Copies of this chain bind each other. A is one copy, B any other.
Amino acid sequence: MVIQYDTIRPIRFDNKKLYLIDQRVLPTKKTEIEYTSSAQVAAAIKDMVVRGAPAIGITAAYAVVLAAIQRYAEDSKNWKRLIQQDIQFLAESRPTAVNLFWALNKMQTHINNLQGDPFSPLKTVADDIHQQDIEANYTMGKIGAELIVQQSAAVLTHCNAGALATGGYGTALGVIRSAYADKKIIKVYADETRPWLQGARLTAWEMLQDNIPVTLIAESAAASLMQQGKISWVIVGADRIAANGDVANKIGTYGLAILARYHRVKFMVAAPTTTIDMNITQGQDIPIEQRSSDEVLHCSEHRVAAEGAQAWNPAFDVTPANLVDAIVTEKGFIENPNTIKIASLMSGGSNKI
């Protein structure tokens, strides 16, 4: 039996305002920031107040609602034209997670067909995106847990693909939550995930809230962990999956996939189909965000590197499909992904293709 339960929700829309848990300061402080304009929200996405591909998509959808409220109040005749710059500004906030563009496209399509005050109908669309993401996570949790045939396994996850990265429950952490509830997983190792420490700050915090035992490691210890036979699976999320099954995800994912294959550890990617970009043929075409070198030169707000040193700080890497054992989505899972299997999955294929 797989137990499904509620988790923290990083995104909340209430009384024409958007509230985001500030993930920059977790777990030290748990604070919500209130947003009333889409420009503020675009800045929040860029600055990683909210992060994680599905969460960025949901946030952008609500930001479009805020923009529609403002533009319709400004000029109820021309608001559909005026809102284009808001949508464009949101689209420029971060380049890699495709859920952002998926959500903006979905909102745009509804805007095109609207008459009258856009608030209520657009909020309904954003709420649906939000709710469907949470439901997709529960479904993925169940499907992913079924793939773990080991009993009492330990697994490694990278970055934070949890409730905080989604509408709630999480993708990779959704699978881990479901498998833990089902006693298939009894221990979770989490990469601390430099430079932003999503693992140490967010994943550890989420797991502890649910009383799931979590042991942090420096990324550099992952190979030793596998060498010593301590884990059965690596389970991660995704920021964009190409049509051939190549996976863009947090920097370090590609290295973990190589190490997993070398040690015959299984490698699972859990992501909703909104993360699959059928317009991108292969992973090398996915735009990879380069972030400020300051993130590497500092740890939290404290300078750690020698003055004068430079840093290279790509936020994501691309894992080729041939290193992925399974992609789990709300529509089912595929093993050893390729173009044909992804296409079949997207058109509503069965659990196993």
Contact = CB atoms under 8 A, between A and B. Distances in A.
Interface of A: 27, 158, 189, 191-195, 197, 200-202, 204-205, 207-208, 213-225, 227, 250-252, 254-255, 258-259, 262, 293, 296-297, 299-300, 302, 304-314, 317-318
**Counting chain B CB atoms within 10 Å of each CB, which of A158, A221, A224, A296 scores highest?**
A221
Contacts of A224: 251, 254-255, 314, 317
A334 to B, nearest CB: 24
A309 B216 contact: yes
Given A223-B258, A299-B300, A216 B305 contact: yes
A226 to B, nearest CB: 9
Contacts of A189: 312
Nearest to A295: B218
A215 to B, nearest CB: 5
A9 to B, nearest CB: 18
A218 B293 CA distance: 10
Given A223-B254, A227-B317, A215 B306 contact: no
B309 A225 contact: no
A194 B220 contact: yes
Contact of A195 (B201, B218, B225): B218
Contact of A200 (B207, B259, B304): B304
Contacts of A225: 312
Contacts of A312: 189, 215-217, 221, 225
Given A259-B258, A300-B299, A312-B215, A306 B204 contact: yes
A322 to B, nearest CB: 12
A192 B296 contact: yes
B309 A304 contact: no
Contacts of A310: 213-216
Contacts of A293: 216
Give the 6 A-B CB pairs with smallest separation, nearest first. A220-B252, A223-B255, A299-B299, A205-B306, A204-B309, A204-B306
A216 B312 CA distance: 6
Given A197-B299, A216-B293, A216-B305, 6 more contacts: A200-B296, A201-B305, A213-B310, A218-B313, A223-B252, A224-B317
A314 B255 CA distance: 19
**Counting chain B CB atoms within 10 Å of each CB, which of A223, A259, A297 scores highest?**
A223
Contacts of A207: 309
B251 A220 contact: yes
A217 to B, nearest CB: 5
Nearest to A263: B258
